[in-house]
Structure formats: structure tokens, C-alpha cells
Structure 1
Amino acid sequence: MNYRTKTSTLIFGLASFATAIVFFNGCKSPTENKAITKTAEAKENLADAKETLDKAKKEYVLRYEAFKLESDSKIAENEKIIAELKKKAKMESNAAKEDFEKELAVLEQKNQSLKEKMSYYKDEGDDKWESFKLEFDRDMDNLGKALKDLTKNNTN
């Protein structure tokens, strides 16, 4: 055989092989085609779910950070009010001073406890976060009211 014949035979053989592969791959059963489609859909759904989860986590972190900043600000404001009340209490010389200082110490401890509670909070999911946030807000509001009441009672 000459060179052209060998080359032609080789090309014909490769073309026949490629045709056979295409033909046999095209002849997959409907079950195989459904399985391939379902696998592709599952992969797409998984990717969508991961994207949604990532987005939800980012939103949760942003809400948490905003709440923490707001709470830290309120705690710092309470610390400022407590410091001012302590200065006023030192200038007083009446019998009510001792009771006032005791109440002030209790409120200062509550403020410190809220500060620690916020700093030690660990992510335990959205449901626990909502519960924590409601309880924390309630405690913060009660402390704020108690400080206002103490201020009113001290100025009377």
C-alpha cells in the first residue's frame, strides 16, 4: 500500500469511529435522558439554594451588626447618665443619698450585664436571634425607664 491509500484508510476508519460514537450516544434511552436532565436540574437548584443561603447569611450579619451598634450606643448613653448621677449623688448630703446610690449601683450593674450579654452573644440561628433581640430590647427599655425615673426622683 502506498502512502495515500494508508492515509485514506486511516481517515475513513477514524470518520467511521466518530460516526459510531455520535450515533450510539444519540441512542440513549429516555430513562437515561431523564436522569441526565434531572441531574442537571438538581445541580442548578443546589447552586440557587447556595446563593440564597449566602444572601440570607449576609443580610443576617448586617442586621446583627446594626442592632449591636445601636445597642452599644444605648449602653454608652446609659453609662454617661449613670456617671452624671454619681457626680450629683456625691454632692448630696441627705439621708436619701444612700438609697439613691444603692439604686444607682443596681442600675449600673444591669447596664453592665446588658453590655456583656451583647458581647457574648453567639449566632444560634435566626429564631434564637429574634428571641434574644426581643428580650434584650425589653431589658434595655426597662433600664432606660428606671434611669429616667431615678433622675426624676433625684431632682425632686
Structure 2
Amino acid sequence: MRKTILSLALLTMTAGTVLVGCKDASKEENEAKENVQEAKEDLNDAKVELSDARRAATEEEWKAFKDSTNAAISLNEKRIADMKADLKKTGKTIDSEYQKKIVELEMKNKEIKSKLEMYKNDANSDWQSFKKEYNRDMEDLGESLKNFTVKN
């Protein structure tokens, strides 16, 4: 009799454990799917907010960059005009060589100015590479203007 009561108790305990342990899996599955969907929506919202923040920062940076480079381009144009005026005053035989160099510098300056005007500040453009290339071109032109009259 002891064996029967013990086996019956063990069987009841096992059955109770199995019944209590088995919840409705579809309910948990639905909750998990809802949580995943909410997480995806939150991620998309965060991406949009980040994009807006980047765009706003880039807009401000672009405006400051454009203002400073327009000032540098104007300064280069003035320096080139001064060189042309000095060239007209000198009347040397090497004027044709200087004239060619001045025209080259003027063309470089116009090319840099057109790059700035043609650049579209939008999400598809690579701002960092444009800025790096533009600054390198401006430095090269500045060095050329500085070293214009220096002979190696």
C-alpha cells in the first residue's frame, strides 16, 4: 500500500509540474513579436532623429565653411589682380612667363570657386572627403600664390 501511495503521489507531482510548467506558448510568442516590433520602431525613430541632428550640424558647419572659403577666394582674386597690376608696371622680358603663371593661378582659383558652388550639401554627398579635398586645393593655391615670385 505504501508503494501505491508513493507512486500515486509521485505521479500526481509529475503531472502537476508538467501542467504548471506548460504555459500557452502562443501568448508569449505574441508578446515577444510585439516587443520586437516596438524595438524596430524605436530604432527607426532614433535613426531619423540622428539623421536630423547630423543634418543640422552639417548645415551650420557648411555655412561657416562656405563663408570662410568665399573670403579666402576673394582674397586670392585680389592677390591675383595685384600681381597683374604689378606685371603691367614692370615691363620686363619675362612678363610672358609670369603672365602664364598668373593665368594658371587664376584658373585654379576659378576652379576651386566652381567646386564650392557646385557642391550640394545633402545626405548623399560625402562632406568629409569634399572638405578635405577642398582644403588641400586651397592650401596648394595659397602656396602657389606665396611662392609666385620665388625662383628655385
Please indicate the TM-score interval, normalised by the length of the shorter structure: 0.7 to 0.9
Point out the more displaced range, 77-86 or 89-98.
Answer: 89-98
CA-CA distance at 1:78 after TM superposition: 0.1
The aligned counterpart of 2:14 is none
Stretches of structure 1 lacking an aligned partner (at least 5 in a row):
1-27
Indicate conservation of the 8 Å contact 1:85/1:151, yes or no: no
The aligned counterpart of 2:118 is 120
Root mean square deviation of aligned Cα: 2.2
Stretches of structure 2 lacking an aligned partner (at least 5 in a row):
1-25
Equivalent residue pairs, number: 126
Q: Which of structure 1's runs of 4+ aligned residues deviate more than 4 A?
A: 123-127
State, as a whole percentage, how many aligned pairs show the same letter: 28
Q: 1:53 aligns with which of 48, 51, 54?
A: 51
| Structure in which a larger fraction of residues adopt helix | 1
Alpha-carbon distance in structure 1 between the residues aligned to 2:135 and 2:148: 20
CA-CA distance at 1:80 after TM superposition: 0.7
CA-CA distance at 1:125 after TM superposition: 5.1
The aligned counterpart of 2:144 is 146
The aligned counterpart of 2:12 is none
The aligned counterpart of 2:36 is 38
The aligned counterpart of 1:11 is none
Alpha-carbon distance in structure 2 between the residues aligned to 1:102 and 1:91: 16
